[in-house]
């Protein structure tokens, strides 16, 4: 039960580590918050099976909402 939470934290930390140091300012984060959250959630869903863990139902539902949001956004 703790593995999805730990994976979410690790993915967020890896994302912060990979991005340039000045890119995590509050103004830039505010503009791209949905994209950053989408990357973290989808990355976590992709990593859990690789770690041998089952994807929790709540996390898979959140991932489906995130994907649906972005595909719905493409139409407009």
For 20-41, the pLDDT digits (tens) are: 766 556 666 667 777 778 888 8
Task: Indicate the angle between helix axes 33-50 and 57-75, nearest 10 degrees.
Answer: 140
Report yes or no on 4 lying in a domain.
no
Residue 37: predicted pLDDT: 82
Number of domains present in the structure of the chain: 1
Take residue 17 and report the two structure tokens written for it.
């580590």
**Does the pTM of the predicted model rise above 0.75?**
no
Residue 75: predicted pLDDT: 62
Location of structure tokens 């990979």: 18
- Domain holding 44, by residue range, is 27-76
Report yes or no on 13 lying in a domain.
no
Report yes or no on 22 lying in a domain.
no
Report yes or no on 31 lying in a domain.
yes
Q: Which is more confidently placed, 12 or 75?
A: 12
> Exposed/middle/buried for 15, CB within 10 Å: 0-12, 13-18, 19+?
middle
Report yes or no on 9 lying in a domain.
no
Report yes or no on 11 lying in a domain.
no
Residue 74: predicted pLDDT: 65
Report yes or no on 41 lying in a domain.
yes
Report yes or no on 57 lying in a domain.
yes
Q: How confident is the model at residue 18 (pLDDT cuts 50, 70, 90)?
A: confident
């Amino acid at each position: 039960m703790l593995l999805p939470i730990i994976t979410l934290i690790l993915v967020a930390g890896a994302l912060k580590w990979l991005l340039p140091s000045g890119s995590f300012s509050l103004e830039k984060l505010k503009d791209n918050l949905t994209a950053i959250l989408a990357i973290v959630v989808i990355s976590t869903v992709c990593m859990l099976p690789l770690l041998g863990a089952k994807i929790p139902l709540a996390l898979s539902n959140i991932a489906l909402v995130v994907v649906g949001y972005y595909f719905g956004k493409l139409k407009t």
